[in-house]
Amino acid sequence: MVKVNGRTEAERARLDVEHELPAGDDGDETAEVAAVGGGQPLQAAETSGVEAELQKVRAERDSLLDRLARSQAEFENARRRAGREQQEFRDYATVDAIKSLLPVLDSFERALQVKAEAGDFRSGVELIYKQLQDALGKLGVRRIPAKGEQFDPHHHEAIELVETADAPDHEVLEELQHGYKLKERLLRPAMVKIAKNPGK
C-alpha cells in the first residue's frame, strides 16, 4: 500500500471527492437546521396559549365551586330558619290554646274549694262545662252531630247494630262518646249505636 504524505491513496481519493461536493449541500443542511430552529418560537407560542386557556378554565371552575358552596350554605341557613319559624309558630299556637283553657282550670279549682249542696255543685259543674265548650269553640273545635242523624262512616264509628222497627235503617240511635272536628279536620269520630231495620 503506497502512502503519500502519510495518507493512502484511498484516503486521498475520499478527501478529493469531499472537496468536489457542491457548496449547496452544506447549505441545505444548514437551511434544514435553520428551519427546525425557526419552529421553536411557534411551539412556544402555542404552549403559552394553551397554558393561558387552562388558567382561564381553572379560574372559572374555582368561581363555580365557590358559588356552589355559597348556595349550599344559604340553602342550609334558609332551611334552619324555616324550621325555627315553624317551631315558634307551633309553640305560640299551643300557648294560645293553653291560655284559653286556664280560666276553665281556675273554675274547677274554685268549685273544688267550695262546700256546696249536690244541686249547687251540679250547677257549678254545668257552668264550667259550658265555659270549656266556649273555649274550645274559640279554637275552632266543633261537636259532630250524631243522635238522630243518618250514619256517616266519615264522622261516626258504629260499635253496635240494634234491630228495631221504630227508626229508619242506619239511623244513629244513641251517642256513647261525642265526636269533634277542628274546623274541617276530624279530631275523633263519634261512637254510636245505629238502627238495623228488618223491614228495610
- Cα distance between residue 69 and residue 149, in whole Å: 61
Neighbour tally for 190: CB within 10 Å = 22
Q: Average pLDDT, stretch 176-198?
A: 92
Residue 179 falls in which region: left (phi positive, over 0), alpha (psi -120 to 50) or beta? beta
CA–chain centroid gap for 111, Å, is: 51
Contact present, 172 and 150 (Cβ < 8 Å): yes
Q: Evaluate whether the domain defined by 142-200 bears CATH number 3.40.1110.10.
A: no
Place of cell 305560640: 92
In the three-class reduction of DSSP (H, G, I as helix; E, B as strand; rest coil), residue 164 is classed as coil
Contact present, 132 and 173 (Cβ < 8 Å): no
Q: Average pLDDT, stretch 12-37?
A: 50
**Which of the two residues, 127 and 11, has the higher pLDDT score?**
127
- The per-residue pLDDT for range 91-142, each reduced to its tens digit, is 777 777 888 888 888 888 888 787 777 778 888 888 898 999 898 888 889 9
Place of cell 264509628: 157
- The per-residue pLDDT for range 155-178, each reduced to its tens digit, is 999 999 999 988 999 999 999 999
